[in-house]
Structure 1
Amino acid sequence: MANINIKTCACKGIRYCLLCGNITNDMVQDRNVAQTIEIHNYCPDCHKAWPALDLMQHPSHQGDGFEFEGIFLWTDFITEVEEQQLCQQIDQTPFVDSQSGRRKQDFGPKVNFKKRKLKCDDFSGLPNYSKALYVKMTTNSLLHDFIPVELCNLEYMPERGSAIDPHFDDFWLWGERLVTLNLLSDSYLCMTCDEHPNMEVHIPMPRRSLLVVHGPARYKWKHSIHRKDISGRRLAMTFRELSDEFRGQGTQSEMGQKLINIAFTFKGIAVG
């Protein structure tokens, strides 16, 4: 059958998915297939990264592990029944195509990161179903003062070749903590760092777990999702807080307070 160059995705530039014209499964390779990568697996019990060949479970690790700072994993953050109800509520809102085979729902201000400009005219707040999640997450000491002003729901599907390349979330607008609730399937967050170009640290993201990325894991390590780690439909709910520039005595604190006031109406409709 001849290839048909019809673009049915939202990929731009170097990004691609299995729906891009002339892209096949064989062409969609993960980074650790193309070159020799030293893989370490993160243990949430001892907060260390251990060589992948170390198959021993905590506390019986062997080999040379190292401290990996800035990860907090709250397993079973919600129940199976809560997950089902939450996904039903999420699916009542249409998803729009995003890059690299993902689909998304955005609840937050419109942002031009290159020009450092934002608009909140269409921002109506965080969705109602996120309020109970927010209340529960702030019972943890790490998140007691967490004030999210954006929620992005991302859908990953293996048949679309869903993934996301190594990147830092923006530092101008978004603050210290990135909080993600992982739904419907297990996956891994892959961490890479320029200081260790041939190393990956894989962070487990069990189904229904809440993952917090902060500190060195936020500012020193880039994060990504490999296609090979998407085994079924995955919904990722990522909450973001404001940077210091938009809080307290920051130069954009007035705008920041406006965003907080809108967010905490919990009457949000996804921004197209």
Structure 2
Amino acid sequence: MADAAPCGCKGIRSCLICETERSLNAPPKEEPFQQTVCTYCIQCCTAYEETTSKHPDHHGNSFSFKGISVIPDFVSPEEEEHLVSHIYKSPFVVSQSGRQKQDYGPKVNFKKKKLRADKFTGLPIYSKFLYDRMQGLQELKDFLPVELCNLEYSSDRGAAIDPHFDDFWLWGERLVTLNLLSDSVLSFTNDSLRNVEVQVPLPRRSLIVVSKDARNVWKHSIHRHHISGKRLAITLRELTPEFLEGGDREVEGKNLLEVALTFQGSSVAES
């Protein structure tokens, strides 16, 4: 699969569409290895080396897993319906591994550490109430989002995302995601602990904040088998200190935030 597929997959990535249409070129599967799957309890804020028990009746070994905060029912069913209806008024573009996306942010070349903001018109108007609500949380009272990405996952396409780190040059310490339309699971792996995976449940309409070790030490992913039906993820990102007051690119960051927080933006696909 060296060339791009109609679904948006390229390189070693694939989805059900290209695996069906181009089965001869499907990427090789990794050899399985013995893995300990740990479940993170969002009430205990602890990872347990088992997958069956429910809070508070945990058993087995446990360990601290720093940098995860899950707020259930961050939006109501009515607010979810409002958000989804507004999101689907704008076009999606195909992404890799069966996903579709909408971007509200500057155009970035992460390898060359360059960005262009000439087509950036701000975050979408429907996200303003989410921003206001986040300001009321102690852990997010100083969170200033400069980019919003909507990702649609569909089981029909076999959508997933491979283990990865979000960029460390432009995107700051906290990654904030609102999980809509269905329950899901965010999985974490560590290259130095290849036999361990921590699975964090994402209830429908919950907000997750990823920071500290979960952001900087552990890669995160979404497995194909954790997508049932359709999932819509709204992810917001903040800037690194380099783009904030006192940083080398403070002026650039200030300009980006001024545009972002007008909440008058259209997605890149529309511009």
What SS does the aligned partner of 1:228 have?
helix
Matched, 1:120 2:117: yes
Distance 1:30 1:133 in 2: 40
- Is residue 2:39 matched to residue 1:41? yes
Partner deviation per Cα, 1:78-116 (whole Å, 9 max, x = no partner) = 111111111000000010001110000000000000100
Contact 1:30/1:226, CA 8 A, preserved across alignment: no
Contact 1:72/1:211, CA 8 A, preserved across alignment:
yes
1:217 to 195, 214, 218: 214
Aligned to 1:175, the other structure's residue is in SS state strand
What amino acid does structure 2 have at the position aligned with 1:108?
G
Q: Equivalent residue of 1:8, what SS?
A: coil
Query: How many angstroms apart in 2 are the aligned matches of 1:83 and 1:134?
Result: 15
Any idea what SS the aligned residue of 2:126 has? helix
Distance 1:130 1:159 in 2: 28
Counterpart secondary structure, 1:202: strand
Partner SS, residue 41 of structure 1: strand
Q: 1:267 aligns with which of 242, 251, 264?
A: 264
Unaligned runs of 5+ in 1: none
Return the TM-score normalized by structure 1.
0.93
Aligned to 1:9: 7
The structure-2 alpha-carbon separation of the partners of 1:91 and 1:48, relative to structure 1 and needing over 3 Å to count, comes to same
Distance 2:29 2:174 in 1: 27
2:229 alignment partner in structure 1: 232
Instruction: Calculate the aligned-residue CA RMSD, in Å.
Output: 1.8
Match in the other structure for 1:245: 242
Residues 261 and 6 of structure 1: is their aligned pair in 2 closer, same or farther, counting only changes over 3 Å?
Answer: closer
> What amino acid maps onto 2:17 in structure 1?
L
Give the counterpart of 1:188 among 161, 185, 189. Answer: 185
Choose from 94, 99, 103 the match for 1:106.
Answer: 103
Distance in 2 (CA, whole Å) between partners of 1:68 and 1:178 is 16
Residue type of the partner of 2:251?
A: E
Which SS does the other structure have where 2:182 is aligned? coil
The answer to which of 14-23 and 91-100 deviates more is 14-23
Contact 1:30 1:227 in 2 (8 A): no
The Cα shift of 1:12 comes to 1.4
Match of 1:173 among 167, 170, 174: 170
Q: Contact 1:17 / 1:28 at 8 angstroms: preserved in 2? A: no
- Following superposition of structure 1 onto structure 2, how do residues 151-166 of structure 1 map, counting pairs within 5 Å? 151-166=148-163
- Matched position secondary structure for 1:211: strand
Summarize the alignment of residues 57-72 of structure 1 with structure 2, pairs less than 5 Å apart.
Answer: 57-72=54-69
Q: Does the alignment pair 1:22 with 2:29?
A: no
Paired residues of 1:18 and 1:28 also in contact (CA < 8 A): no
Contact 2:50 2:60 in 1 (8 A): no
Shift of the alpha carbon at 1:28? 8.2
- 8 Å Cα contact 2:161/2:222 also seen in 1: yes
The C-alpha deviation readout for 1:107-149, integer Å capped at 9, x for no partner, is 0000000100000000000000000000001100000000000
Report the TM-score when normalising by structure 2: 0.93
CA distance in 2, matches of 1:99, 1:60: 39
Rate the CA distance shift 1:57–1:6 in 2: closer, same or farther, 3 A. Answer: closer
Who is 1:146 aligned against? 143
Aligned partners of 2:12 and 2:27 also within 8 Å: no
Q: Cα offset for 1:248?
A: 1.4
Shift of 1:34: 2.9
Q: Distance in 2 between matches of 1:60 and 1:158?
A: 32
Please give the alpha-carbon distance, in whole angstroms, between the structure 2 residues aligned to 1:262 and 1:171: 22
Q: Which runs of 4+ in 1 moved over 3 A?
A: 27-31
The Cα shift of 1:195 comes to: 2.1
Query: Sequence identity of aligned pairs in percent?
Result: 53
Paired letter, 1:50: Y
Instruction: Kindly state the Cα deviation for residue 18 of structure 1 after the two structures are TM-superposed.
Output: 1.0
Conservation of the 8 A alpha-carbon contact between 1:30 and 1:228: no
